[in-house]
Amino acid sequence: PPPPPPPPPRSKVLVLGGNGFVGNAICMEALSRGLEVASMSRSGRPKREDGWMSDVEWIKADALEPDSYIKYLSPIQSIVSCIGAFGSYKHAYEINGTANIRAAKAANDNGVERFVFISAKQYRYIESVPPMNGYFQGKRAAEEEIQKLFPSRSTILRPGMVYGVRYAGKRRIPLQLIGKPLAALTSLSPIKFLAKYPVFQLALTQPLPVETVRQVCNFFVVIGWGSGLPDVFLKGRSERIASSNWRRDTSSPGNRRHEVSCSMSRTTELDTSGDT
């Protein structure tokens, strides 16, 4: 008998927690760059309706239960995890840590090429203190396991507060009304000086617009290291990232995707100041 046909090429991005605030933004950015996009969450499709949503495959599954979503992984090239939650130590650690670890293991076992994890900025001395210790310790445990599973094919992004338009059901919450003034305040030199001290770090870290996070994230999903347009810098580095002009090249059938992969696993704290 003839050999079986090769499996179809992987070309889709799966956003874990894609129906949330940051996840929505990452889905929209990926679509704007010509990528196929799927979102996975326990609640599935968001309750509100936006035009772009019809272009996303909405998967209802639980990251803690890999058997509920393994069947969806065969066409997935890259995964972006936005999974996170606050609450009791047990709940926060399970969602931020265990759920992400299980998703990364399932991705690795099923041939997913890249894994991008939206983690949280690192705060010295604060991460072991209740009530936030479950959140931070879960994130760090997930970071460690993801980098073991995808040693040359993972990126960890660590933004601080992220602001923009958030939705609770159909209700619109304009976080930029708080985030923009805080960003302006925390960009002042005296405030940035105070923010170097651990006791002030959590309160005085400069917030980021969600547009920054979505551009940077999709850069790592698709392009990898290189130069780009937005004034977004990796803290301690000078590379500009995320070319907003890049789009998937669909001009010929041979160009399944336009990609330059990262050559290393990276852990990145996002910063808008360009400080080293």
> Over the chain, what is the mean pLDDT?
81
pLDDT tens by residue, 223-250 = 543 333 232 333 333 233 333 333 333 3
Binning pLDDT at 50, 70 and 90, where does residue 170 land?
confident
Residue 224 phi, psi dihedral angles, 5° rounding:
90, -160
Half-sphere exposure of 196 (CA within 13 A, CB side): 7
Extents of the domains making up the chain: 12-174+208-223
| Helix (H/G/I), strand (E/B), else coil: 71 | helix
Show the tokens assigned to 195: 């923010």
Binning pLDDT at 50, 70 and 90, where does residue 82 land?
very high
In this predicted structure, what is the pLDDT of residue 203? 86
pLDDT surpassing 50 at residue 253: no
Of the candidates 28, 3, 5, the residue with the CA atom closest to the CA atom of residue 15: 28
| Rounded CA separation 163/248 (Å) | 28
Architecture in CATH of 12-174+208-223: 3-Layer(aba) Sandwich (3.40)
Percent residues over pLDDT 70 in the chain = 78
Binning pLDDT at 50, 70 and 90, where does residue 5 land?
low
